[in-house]
Structure 1
Amino acid sequence: MILMDEEGRKIHASCVKKWFPKFKRYLKEDSSIYVKKPNVAPNTSKFKFAHPESKLIFYHDTIVKDCENFSGSAHGFHFVDFNTIVSNNILESNSFDIIGHIFEYGHMDTSEQDKSKHKMLLHLQDIEDTKLKIILWGHNAYYMHDFLANNNSLAPVIVIVQFARVKFINGLSSFFIHHFDVSRVFINNDIDEITIYKNKLVSENGQQLSSSGIKMIASKQDTEHDDFLKNHLFSNIEDLFEPLEEKTVIIVGTVKGIRQNIRWYYLACSNCKKSAKEKESSTDKVDGSHEVAGIVTYECANLKCKNIKISVIPRY
């Protein structure tokens, strides 16, 4: 979670799992709390949403109470202008906030089975007419989809994405991507930042803006699912017996049976991924007999791993 003080400074915070029930009723988005005796630890996360050096941890002796008189900003937005993003002047490892209005949007891409990976492409524009492509994922994508389905003719549609990140592709900030779990999306909400932006936008582009509406992006590209089915050549098994050239093929076939007398995986050395086998360990007893050790160890078939303690992982 992210905590913010009355000065707008933010810091990462987390709670030890077994103590979470103690604090659960206090930890809600937009709630205000007092926190006493948290632990301070280094922030080792690769991706930073707040203070880069430290984070707070709630333990059993941490005290949390409701705060009724918080006087800071409601959301603590820290906006980055579009030009900074498209000019590659921002770090991929840091989060930031943006505000803009929609001028085009795409279809929901639901090709992935995991609903959290469903996505929606938007084209945003800011006050200075700089354009930016963004992708919303999961529940935020559905939130946007449902809003536009019911408000397609409403213009302007002002969008704020908070705690977002940029992804540079081939050195270009072609896609601005919000983070799955932490990012928040505000669409035409009744908050000061959106009201101020909307008033300024309408004052400069009023009549033209209201008559243009929002356009659907003309899509000529297939989804990944359709691309696989439509744009690849499939082969039958019999086509592989006499290959004319070395190539990669996609085989169409039906599973008729599975052999049960051989393992479909092997135990691999965690160091080099070569095959490993169980090593018998025993100790000599006083009477000259042997006692098999209770701990199972493995040895790798690769000579480079000889005399190295290894663990094994299943590989297929």
Structure 2
Amino acid sequence: MDENNVTFLNNLDWRSKLFTIKIKVLRLWIRVNPKREGEILGTEMVVMDEQGTRMQATVWSKFMKKHEILLNENESYYIYKSQLSVIKSNFKHFDKEHAISLNFDTSVKKCENFDGSLYGIRLASFESIKGGEVDVKYRVDFIGYVDEWSEPEMTKMKMGKDSKYMNLQLLDEEGIKLNCTLWDEYCDEMFGYVQSHKEEVHVVLLVQFGSFNKYKGKTTLSNAFHITRLFINADIEEIRSFRTK
């Protein structure tokens, strides 16, 4: 592994795997087979390099024993001899054709000198989301003041699954309002916060790796499952900046 010869994610060549990348793990979750209860397919990640490029990465189940003990969210690593694999469209979170795959030959080493963004947040304005400047197929980061919210409700999804959701109305710095729906664990996290912080009049919500859809001219924001991260009144630069505006 050559730590002095690092390739940035935008320069990776799918025909080779003899490269070293230096990345931070922004998100990490276990991917299960929706058709077979209890079957684990692998570990999914969102990684970012020092240029701020974000990309998907996968450790398939047969290689998890080798790599899962080494990989943690919010930690940085050198990775050597991974390879690029084509992403099926249903699992594509970013505008990239390939994901990084860690296999048996891959080496992973902890990195102590990652010089990049802390959280890898790239905020899109409500105006750009509503105006079609953001591709609905991919994940999006957005921020807003919680202008209104409703109590959680239960509903039955496809395949008969029961899900919980809560609706919010978010207001951005330009005064544009958009509805946002948070589901299941994200609903629990948000509702738990407002219940335990009733004295806080102004609640700012930043959703990283969220989703949105357009239906009959209306735009609705939401979380995406597993990949989304919520920052609720967190002491981070983006929320501090939003408050001053």
**Fold-level similarity (TM above 0.5):** yes
- What is the Cα deviation at residue 90 of structure 1? 2.7
2:178 equivalent to 1:132: yes
Counterpart residue number, 1:41: 85
Q: Which letter maps to 1:28?
A: N
Counterpart residue number, 2:232: 187
Q: Which letter maps to 1:2?
A: V
Counterpart residue number, 2:211: 165
Q: Which has the larger radius of gyration?
A: 1
- What is the Cα deviation at residue 199 of structure 1? 2.4
Q: Does the CA-based 8 Å contact 1:2-1:50 persist in structure 2?
A: no
- What is the Cα deviation at residue 104 of structure 1? 0.4
Change (3 A) 1:47 1:16: closer
Structure with more contact order per residue of length (Cα contacts < 8 Å, sep ≥ 6):
2
2:176 equivalent to 1:147: no
| Separation in structure 1 between the aligned mates of residue 208 and residue 188 of structure 2, nearest angstrom | 17
| Separation in structure 1 between the aligned mates of residue 70 and residue 126 of structure 2, nearest angstrom | 36
Counterpart residue number, 2:242: 197
Change (3 A) 1:179 1:157: same
Superposed CA RMSD: 1.7
Deviations 1:211-235 (A, max 9, x none): xxxxxxxxxxxxxxxxxxxxxxxxx
Counterpart residue number, 2:18: none
- What is the Cα deviation at residue 114 of structure 1? 4.4
| Separation in structure 2 between the aligned mates of residue 87 and residue 196 of structure 1, nearest angstrom | 24
- What is the Cα deviation at residue 80 of structure 1? 0.7
Equivalenced residue count is: 198
Q: Which letter maps to 2:229?
A: R
| Separation in structure 1 between the aligned mates of residue 173 and residue 90 of structure 2, nearest angstrom | 32
Q: Does the CA-based 8 Å contact 1:6-1:71 persist in structure 2?
A: yes
Partner SS state of residue 118, structure 2: coil
Q: Does the CA-based 8 Å contact 1:102-1:158 persist in structure 2?
A: yes
Unaligned runs of 5+ in 2: 1-44
- What is the Cα deviation at residue 47 of structure 1? 4.9
Deviations 1:148-171 (A, max 9, x none): 001133132111101111111124
Q: Which letter maps to 1:188?
A: N
Whose strand fraction is larger, Structure 1's or Structure 2's? 2
- What is the Cα deviation at residue 91 of structure 1? 2.1
TM value normalised by structure 1: 0.59
Unaligned runs of 5+ in 1: 201-316
- What is the Cα deviation at residue 172 of structure 1? 2.6
- What is the Cα deviation at residue 129 of structure 1? 0.7
